[in-house]
Chain A
Amino acid sequence: MKSINLPEILAPAGSLDKLKVAVLYGANAVYVGGQKFGLRTAAENFTLDELREGISFAHERGAKVYVVLNSFLHDKDLSELPQFVSFLSEIGTDAVIVSDLGVVRTVKEFSNIPVHISTQASTLNSQSAKLWKKAGADRIVLGREVSVKEAGKIKREAGIEIEMFIHGSMCMAYSGHCVISNFTQGRDSNRGGCAHSCRFEYSIEGLDTPEKKKAYFMSSKDLEGLRVLPQFIEEGIDSLKIEGRMKSHLYAGTMTKVYSEALDFFKENGNFLSDDLLRWESELKKVSHRSYTEASLVNKAGADSIFNERENSAEAEWQMVGTVVEANPESGIVLEVRNAFNQGDHLEMIPFKGENIQITANEIMDLSMRAIQRTKPTTLVRLPFVDGVKKMHLVRQRIKA
């Protein structure tokens, strides 16, 4: 089989713990935010110490770390950037993700860190990619309106690395071109203050009926590109990004694992004709999500890409039970419980690679070795050791048939 360059899987990491989860579950790279300059103001984000530790953790395991600086900065914000850029350079940051030309120029001035142009810049065509390349960019994260086929053409025409989103929530607007929050809530969406007004229900007047029509007409379904993987590979896309720095550990781990496993399968077999395809799809559905769409990856997103439902209306079938904080024959499996479960419940441990490990919680103890029948969130509990279970494995449970 001829050698094929496979894209990297780029996973979100909203905190140091999530970075570790993403890397352990197979991410080739993660993207993270510092306390400033990114678009996820409400996320935990990384302190300077955590950035240093996160980069060290990732590099030791062969993964890269990209730091987001993708706000459209005002002058006063920009004045604080050089010091942070110098720090990022010193700790070995693999790239920064940038939307604003002023930020690109500042990064180039104060470091040699590679620059990735954020999707927030809505780069949609090869001419735009050429301009950003001229401005110093090393990679373009294309707008989600671009098809994989167009992306391949952009890569070939502009001669630059291309990254595309493969999974997660989507802006309905061209990214960076929505200022609803700015003008209606006084929160700059392009500096991290997005109020998600596109997810509201609207009454619309003036259509083909005299009555107002109620609809979530500006809300997009979530992107899911598992079956598009062959096209991504065929077009030579360099990086496949999973959206979701605000999302859970379970999300970061599950999504990363599924897409990494699928690419590993391709690497070994040269195709995706795997019996696991349905299992991978089933895994993607186990994490809370809006209905999935391939959006514009293959054909332009149509009416069926609109999520005309109330947010969080779809209850998840599965929920995260907790994270393994210790696992050895002596301590047993010690779980940090996020959602309560009962003695006798069936739990699913998600290993970093391979099939899930099914266990039944017949015996639950607290840390002091007292037997308990029902766990409580925000406690640590002990289960008997099971071979294959490791520290930082995620654990979930089906809550709805």
Chain B
Amino acid sequence: MKLTTYASSLHDLSLLKDKKIDEVILAARSFSRFGKLSHSEFIQMAKRSKELGLRVLFEWDILMTEDVFETKVKEISDYLPSVDAIRVQDPGALWWVLENTKCPIQFIAENGNHNLKALEGWIDIAQGRLERLVLSIELPKATIQEYVEKLSVPCELLGLGRILLFYTPRSLLSPLNGEKLALNEELAALGESEESPHKGFPLVENQHGTFMFHIKEFCLLDYAKELSEMGLGYFRIDQRWAGWEHLDLITNLIMDYNEFQFESFKQQYPQELMRGFYLVNKTDVLFPKLKNARLQHREGNYLGEVLEAEKSSHLAIMVKNPNGLNVSDKLKILHPKGEIFETKIFSLRNLSLKEVEFIPSGDVALIQFVGGVWVKSQVFYID
């Protein structure tokens, strides 16, 4: 497993020497969500990276509407001669790079892409041009292991860095200050809500929009050995916010994990850390509770719904089954709280209060009142 990381200055590059890192992600201001490098700085950094024997990975991870895309396509030719591979996230950028360059591609599949078929799909679309897939940090380890084994290109996973929660192209912070940001200006703040137990979400606004991060950073340093043994290709360390002073300790932990050192690292690190869903992802277990139980039983012999329950007089049922309702049908009535009642139709009236033998679907049937039944009860035929 190889390490990959960002560098934002020549000084950062010098720190990467002797860390067994053989590539670096360079983020230009114009193409990368959090890029800081101007074009000339990028070229200078790329040149120095190559002198140091580092592959240069060009990060093009912004999402772009048509007009923005057109301006980026005009700019990108100034960067391409200096890069060894391009990292893209917008499928449009992927398609453009495929069609217009011969550059190796690293596809950032961090958003969604939680099934093998999707990931294989990106590899197929790229027709042999993908050299890497960047996997979602929402994947649990068993899934990562399966993907690493089955996918035909190496995979990368974030090992340490911020968790991006929210990305919009709209400017959301500067309006609170009452003035627009200058082109290369960045505004950073912290947000918290009384409706959330989490305090201090980092917020950033720049020329690409507004971003919100988790209050904790994502960290799998203590699982680096496990991931390496799984066959993960690349482990990404993103120190753009926390700073570089912990790099020695981080690389030591990755190469030779030691629990004591890890505890010490956690104490020193400026942010709290979390491993997200690495052990298990149960982000769908609450779904059944979000649903009104009353509405979950409409399969099978479903007849319709009670619209009115008039004590000692009648139940009004909206007939929804194409078979309609007949006199002498036997019915099961499911109360919204789960209680079940049974009855047999011995008289049936329509809304003109006429006795009838049959009520078709789409009409309201009046039947005898059944004690205990409420409005919104669901009605079923009994075979």
Contact = CB atoms under 8 A, between A and B. Distances in A.
B366 A367 contact: yes
A358 interface: no
Contact of B94 (A131, A190, A215, A369): A131
A132 B91 contact: yes
Nearest to B70: A125
A48 B366 CA distance: 27
Interface string A211-239: 00101011010000000000000000000
A306 B172 contact: yes
A247 to B, nearest CB: 16
A331 B353 CA distance: 8
B192 interface: yes
Contacts of A348: none
B112 A190 contact: yes
Interface in B64-104: 64-69, 90-96, 99
B193 interface: yes
Nearest to A131: B95
Given A100-B112, A104-B121, A188-B283, A325 B167 contact: no
B313 to A, nearest CB: 6
A331 B118 CA distance: 56
B114 interface: yes
Contacts of A207: 173, 176-177, 187, 189
A187 interface: yes
Given A187-B283, A301-B170, A325-B364, A127 B69 contact: yes
A278 interface: no
Interface stretch (B17-25, B219-227, B241-249, B295-303): B295-303
Residue among A48, A50, A154, A303 facing the most chain B CB atoms (10 A cut-off) = A303
Contact of B282 (A99, A176, A186): A186
A184 interface: yes
B281 to A, nearest CB: 7
A204 B210 CA distance: 14
Residue among B92, B163, B167 facing the most chain A CB atoms (10 A cut-off) = B92
A302 B69 CA distance: 20
Interface string A330-368: 110010100000000000000000000000000000111
Given A131-B95, A203-B192, A367-B351, A75 B115 contact: yes
Nearest to B291: A42
Interface of A: 16, 41-42, 44, 47-50, 53, 72-75, 77-78, 99-106, 121-132, 134-135, 143, 145-147, 150-151, 153-154, 172-174, 176-180, 182-184, 186-188, 190-193, 197-198, 200-208, 213, 215, 217-218, 220, 296, 300-303, 305-306, 325-326, 328, 330-331, 334, 336, 366-369, 378-380, 391
Given A72-B112, A126-B66, A180-B166, 19 more contacts: A42-B291, A44-B292, A49-B299, A77-B284, A78-B117, A103-B118, A124-B69, A128-B95, A143-B63, A174-B169, A177-B63, A179-B164, A187-B283, A201-B193, A201-B195, A301-B170, A330-B352, A379-B310, A380-B316
